[in-house]
Amino acid sequence: MSLPDVETPARERVQAWWRWGFVLAVAVHLAVLYWPRSPSTGGLPIDKPVHAAIFGMVLWVAAKARLPVGLVGALLVGHAVLSELIQHYLLTGRSGDVTDSVADLAGVVIVTLILWRRR
């Protein structure tokens, strides 16, 4: 069951919480991408799923916060490429990886398809 389309005080509070959630999601997203050194995963191959998850998470929370999903998605696509260039050229201890960008884009595409199916 979804909330009615009219703006009610309860719905406005929910949207406010989702917008704060969006700010938190973006902060986590940026911290994961630009932390000075990648954390050790103990040999587990979780790097690509983490990339997909952090990009998808931002888009999912943007949709829940009723932000313009097309715009946020486009910014995430650009950031997928830009973040790897920044890691490669500007961050010591980090390296850019084309496959990380592919994983980032996969996260955006997966969430876009989920949101599209839920319409």
Structure tokens at 46: 């979780």
Dist. CA 114–CA 69, nearest whole Å: 12
Q: Number of structural domains, the chain?
A: 1
Answer whether residue 1 is part of any domain: no
Model pLDDT, residue 44 = 75
pTM of the entire structure? 0.86
Model pLDDT, residue 80 = 97
Structure tokens at 24: 């938190």
Contact 18, 66 (CB under 8 A): yes
Count CB neighbours of 101 within 10 A: 20
Model pLDDT, residue 90 = 92
Contact 61, 21 (CB under 8 A): yes
Domain extent for 108: 9-118
Model pLDDT, residue 91 = 87
Length in residues, the chain: 119
Answer whether residue 30 is part of any domain: yes
Low-confidence ranges of the chain (pLDDT < 70): 1-7, 38-43
Model pLDDT, residue 4 = 57
Answer whether residue 2 is part of any domain: no
